[in-house]
Chain A
Amino acid sequence: MALRLLHHTRTAAVHAVLILGAGLMAYPFIWMWRASFQSAGEIFGAVANPPPIWDSIAENYGRALFETPLLRFMLNGLIMTGGILIAQVLTTVICAFALAKYDFRGRKILFALVLLSLAVPAQATALPIFIVLAKVGLLDTYLSMMVPYLTSGFAIFLFHQFIKSFPDEILLAARLDGMTEIEIVFRIVMPAMLPAIAAFAIFSITFHWNDLYWPMIAIRSADMAPPTLGLLFFRSQGGGGDSFGPLMACATLVTAPLILVSLVAQRKFVQGVTMTGVK
């Protein structure tokens, strides 16, 4: 009996610590959401007659959506992350397949190159790419946002590990059935590795949706800005107490897609975002 009581108190203590931590982790979000639901004065101090909450929400989100180019920023972000993802998957899957299943001269050098690229942070290559883009006049375009990320050494490495363990006999069977090599990649191997692709997709989308460094370099006009850069434009324009509610509404909307995905597909998401850790 006493043992059980001890067990229960211990469990309760553990939960108390965990809840405290969770509260600290979640507090900025809660504060942001609350601020986006309130009128400007409310959040920093008592206002005598706060307007009804629905009015504040309509006001903040209405202004965020229709008086700022937020929708445009989000669309830009969508095009950028989508374009990057498609290019990455297309180039890396076939390359990983070649590395894993074909024997050709230079295979080892290519693989070494892939491993080397894992150690190179994207910021280090920014300047030369910027110079070239400026020379050919491609700055401030969707293409310029995607250029540094059209392929991914990390994806090649990851998919290579996966395809290596894919049974050779299935490839032989497919060849016997008369499939061409490109069909083997897209009809047999790719569907089988969808879980790995999904995990990588989440990793890639998260990284590029949240990236600020490269858009800050490649993009100059607000029209082309992805959400991260757009938020900075927006803040530098308004910034005053008046636009505080809409600013929080914008922040809520920019963070919303990834948070929603992480709630719906939590396992996959954790797997995808932490992939760098298990490589």
Chain B
Amino acid sequence: MTHTLSMADESLAVAMPVSKNEGAGYKIHGYVFSAPAFLLLLATVIAPIVVVFIVSLTNYKLGRASLSFIGLGNYTKLLQDPYFWNALKNSAIYTAIVVPVSVGLALIVAALLSSRTRSRRVYEVIYFLPVTSTLTAMSIVWSYLLNGNIGPLATLMTSLGMKPLDFLADSDLALFGLAIIGTWHMLGFNLILFLAGFTTISKELTEAAQLDGIDSFWDRIRYIIWPLIAPTTIVVVAISCIQAFQAFDTVAVLTNGGPYGATEMLLYKINQDSFIGLKAGYGSALTVIYLILIGLFSIFQVMATNKKAHF
């Protein structure tokens, strides 16, 4: 009989939302404090997205006073536009080169670097240099480095008795040229993400694994390193894909989409059609496609990050 009482004691421990309840008295503050950011988000992100959707259904041209709705006309035109498919293909090829190479190399470098203690800082700084540097400026430098007549690469190849490759002027090579720069630019970023991932593999864990008989190099990779680093890798791949699809600076500085559209990528085409060709309606339709692609990658990234958080 006495036990009923003690049970009642415990059931009293009702959890209550302390901070939430305390916040309830501050509704006005909540509105006032969030208003500036909320209105700005509305004006600079949400409203423009809506406008883009609407404009993509019209034949609006920049500078014109009139417009009329043409339904999905821009989208059907887009599907038949060889230049659109070319741009999409180029973006895909560029991504297919840059992402695996920059992620793979970053993973290798991170694995080598994670066991270094004293020299790690120095390497980190150097590998990170391209990430922070202004890509526009460095693209100008790269235009000389990859130049087939005067660049150091050409000199090296000539001295080895090969025919020098003119990366940016040759339509077969130009996309690879940009991919080289893109890889160079993104590798350090991915490296840092991987190094953060490697910190989850503690010394204690490797030691415990050794006690369990996991001591050869390959076993360690298979049972310890890869399972722990795989979630990070997925996140890195997602982020790299987003970045690769956003490639613009190198195209605008170095090739202007040329030669003969060989390097015209999605974002550059959007920019050209919207602001140079003034075809706002068509450009908006392209933007919608772009938005959907980036949105998909973002969702993928968020899902991968959430999965990682469960570890």
Cα–Cα distance between A35 and B133 once the two chains are bound (Å): 17
Contact residues in A for B27 (Cβ distance below 8 Å) = 102-105
A interface SS class: helix
Is A251's CB under 8 angstroms from B30's CB?
Answer: no
User: Which of A28, A114, A121, A263 is the one whose CB lies under 8 Å from B145?
Assistant: A28
A151 and B52 contacting across the interface, CB-CB below 8 Å: no
Expressed in whole angstroms, the Cα–Cα distance for A35 and B140 within the complex equals 12
Per DSSP, chain B at the interface is: helix
Closest to B193 in A: A277
**Residue B294, interface by CB 8 Å:** yes
User: Is B141's CB under 8 angstroms from A32's CB?
Assistant: yes
Is the CB of B283 closer than 8 A to any CB of chain A? yes
CA distance A18 to B110 in the complex (A): 10
B239 touches A276 (CB 8 A): yes
Residues of A near B70 (CB, < 8 A) are none
Establish whether residues A254 and B44, one from each chain, have CB atoms under 8 Å apart when the complex forms. no
Within B209-267, the residues touching A (CB, 8 Å) are: 235-236, 239, 242, 246, 248-249, 252-253, 267
Q: How far is the CA of A129 from the CA of B42 in the complex (A)?
A: 12
Task: Give the CA-CA distance A217 to B113 in the complex, in Å.
Answer: 41
A203 to chain B, nearest CB (A): 11
List, in ascending order, chain A residues with CB within 8 A of B98's CB: none
Q: Judge whether B129 and A29 touch: CB under 8 Å.
A: yes
B9 touches A (CB below 8 Å): no
Contact of B137 among A123, A231, A276 (CB under 8 A): A231
> How far apart are the CA atoms of A221 and B78 in the complex, in Å?
33
Q: List the B side residues contacting A210 at CB < 8 Å.
A: 133-136
- Tell me, yes or no, whether B298 is within 8 Å of chain A by CB: yes
Cβ contact within 8 Å between B126 and A22: yes
User: Cβ of B121 < 8 Å from any Cβ of A?
Assistant: yes
B305 within 8 A of A: yes
Check A270 for interface membership: any CB of B closer than 8 A. Answer: yes
Among B81-89, B170-178, B284-292, the one that faces the other chain is B284-292
A262 touches B129 (CB 8 A): yes
- Whether the Cβ atoms of B140 and A235 lie closer than 8 Å is yes
The listed residue (B126, B132, B283) touching A127 by CB distance below 8 A is B283
Contact bitstring B27-48, A, C-beta under 8 A = 1, else 0:
1011101101110111011111
Q: What are 19 of the A-B contact pairs (CB < 8 Å)?
A: A25-B129, A44-B150, A102-B26, A103-B21, A104-B30, A114-B41, A117-B41, A121-B246, A123-B270, A123-B287, A124-B290, A126-B274, A127-B283, A128-B47, A228-B249, A251-B141, A259-B132, A270-B192, A273-B189
- Tell me the B residues contacting A by CB distance below 8 Å: 18-24, 26-27, 29-31, 33-34, 36-38, 40-42, 44-49, 51-52, 55, 62, 105, 109, 112-113, 115-116, 119, 121, 123-138, 140-142, 144-145, 150, 152, 184, 187-189, 192-193, 196, 235-236, 239, 242, 246, 248-249, 252-253, 267, 270-271, 274-275, 280, 283-284, 287, 290-291, 294-295, 298-299, 305
Enumerate chain A interface residues (CB-CB to B < 8 A). 14-15, 17-18, 21-22, 24-29, 31-32, 35, 44, 90-92, 94-95, 97-99, 101-107, 110, 113-114, 116-121, 123-131, 134, 147-151, 153, 156, 168, 172, 181, 185, 206, 209-210, 212-213, 216-217, 227-228, 231-232, 235, 247-248, 250-251, 254-255, 258-259, 261-263, 266, 269-270, 273-274, 276-279
Q: Identify 11 new A-B residue pairs, CB closer than 8 A, beyond the known A95-B33, A254-B134.
A: A24-B184, A32-B138, A101-B19, A110-B38, A124-B287, A255-B133, A255-B134, A269-B128, A270-B124, A273-B131, A276-B239
